[in-house]
Amino acid sequence: MKNLKIKLPKIYSVALFPAGMKRKKTIAALTVFGGACILAANQANAFTAPTSGTFAYDIFDIGVNQILKGPIGFAAGVGSMVAAAVMAIRQMLLPAAATVLGGAFLLKADSVVSSLGAMIS
């Protein structure tokens, strides 16, 4: 019989590092840096609605109550849903998914604003 040479495949850690072994140190360093940033954060600050009668409340009222939660926000939400449907038909799935999320946010802006207010107080 002849000498049979069997080639064993090289084992790469593809599942852990999708970019291959070339970027292993960079990915590991960014993972450690991201974990350190998450552990270093100790408090989150949020925006509360201004009191009525102030100039900031007038801007907040126009921006949130009349535009975002009003007919302009609803029309923008419906328009983004239509745009997402067109993108999905054209097989642009990732932008379509992002557009659906943005449209859902605009259509449910009143719930989102009230739930953020509940989280703040």
pTM over 0.85: no
Tens-digit pLDDT profile for residues 30-74: 899 998 988 887 766 666 777 888 888 888 888 888 888 889 989
How would residue 90 be classed by pLDDT, with cut points 50, 70 and 90?
Answer: very high
Pick the more confident residue, 98 or 38.
98
Instruction: Give pLDDT, residue 121.
Output: 46
Cβ neighbours, 10 Å, residue 112: 15
Instruction: Give pLDDT, residue 4.
Output: 63
Measured CA distances, 67 to 9, 48, 55, 63 (Å): 60, 18, 17, 5
DSSP element (H, E) containing 72: helix 71-89
What is the biggest distance separating any 2 CA atoms in the chain, rounded to whole angstroms? Answer: 96
Across the range 6-29, mean pLDDT stands at 64
How would residue 9 be classed by pLDDT, with cut points 50, 70 and 90?
Answer: low
Residue 117 near residue 110, CB atoms below 8 Å: no
| Spatial distance between the Cα atoms of 84 and 104, rounded to a whole number of angstroms | 11
Q: What is the mean pLDDT of the chain?
A: 79
The total number of residues written for the chain in this structure: 121
